[in-house]
Amino acid sequence: MERRVVVTGMGVVSPLGQSVPELWQGIIEARSGMGPITLFDPTGFDTRFAAEVKGFDPTQHMDRKEARRTDRFVQLAVAATNEALRTSELQITEANRDEVGVFIASGIGGIGTLSEQIEVLRSRGPSRISPFLIPAMITNLATGQVSILSGARGPSYCVTSACASSAHALGEAAETIKRGWAKAIIVGGSEASITPIGIAGFNAMRALSTRNDSPATACRPFDSERDGFVMGEGAATLILEDLEYALGRGAPILAEVASYAATSDAYHISSLSEDGEGVARAIRLALGRAGLQPSDIDYINAHATSTPAGDPVETAAIKQVFGGRDSAPPVSASKSQFGHLLGAAGAIETIVSILAMQHNTLPPTINLQTPDAACDLDYVPNAARPAELNVVISNSFGFGGHNVCVVLRRYV
C-alpha cells in the first residue's frame, strides 16, 4: 500500500507578513504587498517598485555572525523554516535526524551577494573578495544552512527550475517519502532577487510591469491592462511527513499531498507553449495519479503572473482539462497580492491553497477590473469569498518550459 504524505507545519516570510497568520490576514483583506523599491536606489530603472519583505531582521532567526556570512535568500529560508518546525512540533533529535530531509529550492540564489562582490572585485581587486562569496551565493546553501541549523541529516538537495523550483521540490519531497527514503522533509523555496541586476535583467526581457505610478495595482492577472509581473521576495517552507510517522508522534495534520506531476513544453526558453498542452498534460497526470476526476477539484491556485502572453495560455489549459468555462472550478492568482517570488512561488502558493481549504475561503485575484476576453473563467475578482474546499490544485511554471501541478486535499 502506497504511503500517504501529509503537511504538518508551514512557515512564511512574505511581502504580506512574516508568518503564516499574517500572510492569510493579508490574503483575506485583499491587500497588496507592492510598493516603491527601498532595498536599493531604483532611479533610472524602467521599474521602480516591487513586493519587498519589510522590516526583516535575520538576527531574530540566526546568530549575528552567521547572518553576516549568508545571503538574504538563505536568511529568509531559515526564518520560514523556524516557523514551520515550530508549528509542526517536529523535534529533530539524534533518534530521527537521519530520517529528516531538507529540500529548499531557489531559482536564482544569492544574486545580491554576487552583485556586491563583483563591485568589490572591480573597485578593490581580487584579494578583497569575501571568502564567503561562494557559500553565500550558490543556490543549494539555503538547503545546506537549514540542514546544519536544524540537524536534519536525511536526503538533502536543492531543486532549481526557475519559477517552478519549489513546486518541483515539494513534489519530489513527497515522492521521496512515498519511497520510504525519509520520514519527514523540510521543503520549500526562498528568493531575494530585488537587486539592481535582478530588476534590470527582467526589465531587459520586458517581463516586469512598469506601472510606476500605481504599484499596488500593477500586478493584475487576467486583466486586459496587465503589462508584466511584479518582482517579489520571500520564503515559504512546509513540513511533509509520512502519515504513519505523523500520527505516531501526534502531529497536527494540515492537509494531504495527494499527488504531483511535472511536464516540459520543449518549446521556448521563456514562454509557455501557446496551445497550453504542456500545462494541461501536467494537470491531467496529477489528477490521474491521485485517482481524481476534474469534477473533484474545488479550486485552482494559478501560476498566473500577470504577463500578456502567459495568463491566456493557463486559462486555455484549464478549459482543456475541465471541459470549458462553465465546468471549470474557481481560479485565483495570489501573485496579484504578493508578487512573483520566482523559485519560492510554488511553495508559498501551496501554503495559500492549504489555508484556503482550512478556512473554506477562496483567495481573491485583486486588481481585476477589465477582464481580458481570452481570460473568461471565475477568477474570484477582488474579494475573498466562502466556499467548501476539499481538493485543490496549485500550478507552477518556469522558464525553460517546466510545468508542475500539485494536488492537495483535506486530510480525513
Active-site hit among 61, 158, 163, 168: 163
How far is the C-alpha of 127 from the C-alpha of 389, rounded, in Å?
A: 58
Rounded-to-integer distance, Cα 91 and Cα 238, Å: 15
Pair 194, 342: CB distance under 8 Å: no
Q: Which of 158, 168, 219, 303 is catalytic?
A: 303
Return the amino acid letter for 141.
L
Whether 303 is a known active-site residue: answer yes
Catalytic residue chosen out of the listed positions 61, 340, 375, 402? 340
Which residues participate in catalysis according to the annotation?
Answer: 163, 303, 340
